[in-house]
Structure 1
Amino acid sequence: MEISARNSFKSTVKKVVPGAVNSEVTLEITPGVEVVAIITKSSSEKLGLVEGKQAYAVIKATDVIVAVD
């Protein structure tokens, strides 16, 4: 796989919560470090995302907002 995004992390699917239209996918990058993505249900099915499957978390963002109280 070749991709232009610089932030690509090999991970393991920890959980998939399918909805009517979208699925919530939790990816574990390392123990205790997780990323949650909302993707279309059809994309989740096409990729065959199930618990334990290897996948990549690809992050492409132009802004990161940090806030504290």
Structure 2
Amino acid sequence: MKISARNQFPGTITAINPGAVNGTIKVDIGGGNVVTSSITEEAIAELSLAVGDRVTVLVKASDVLIGK
């Protein structure tokens, strides 16, 4: 599979927090950095995600906002 996202970070799932429709997945990408992603419960099940799985975090954003 080819993917256009250039920001790809391999890591390990450290936590899965289920919700009514969306769940949050925490992925340790090393160096003390953890990325949190909100995805549908259907996607979590379809991908058979589990704590300890090695995954790749793909970031594709047209806007990245920072506020202070």
Question: TM-score when scaled to structure 2?
Answer: 0.89
For 2:16, give the aligned amino acid: V
State the Cα distance separating 1:24 from its structure 2 match.
0.5
| 1:23-56 Cα shifts (integer Å, max 9, x gaps) | 1000110041011010000100111111100111
Task: Name the SS of the counterpart of 2:43 in structure 1.
Answer: helix
Mapped partners of 2:20, 2:40: distance in 1: 9
- Tell me what 1:47 maps to: 47
- Tell me what 1:62 maps to: 62
Question: TM-score when scaled to structure 1?
Answer: 0.88
The CA RMSD over aligned residues, in Å, is 1.2
- Tell me what 1:32 maps to: 32
Question: How much identity, in percent, do the aligned residues show?
Answer: 37
Task: Name the SS of the counterpart of 1:12 in structure 2.
Answer: strand
The unaligned stretches of length 5 or more in structure 1 are: none
State the Cα distance separating 1:67 from its structure 2 match.
3.1
- Tell me what 1:4 maps to: 4
State the Cα distance separating 1:2 from its structure 2 match.
2.5
The unaligned stretches of length 5 or more in structure 2 are: none
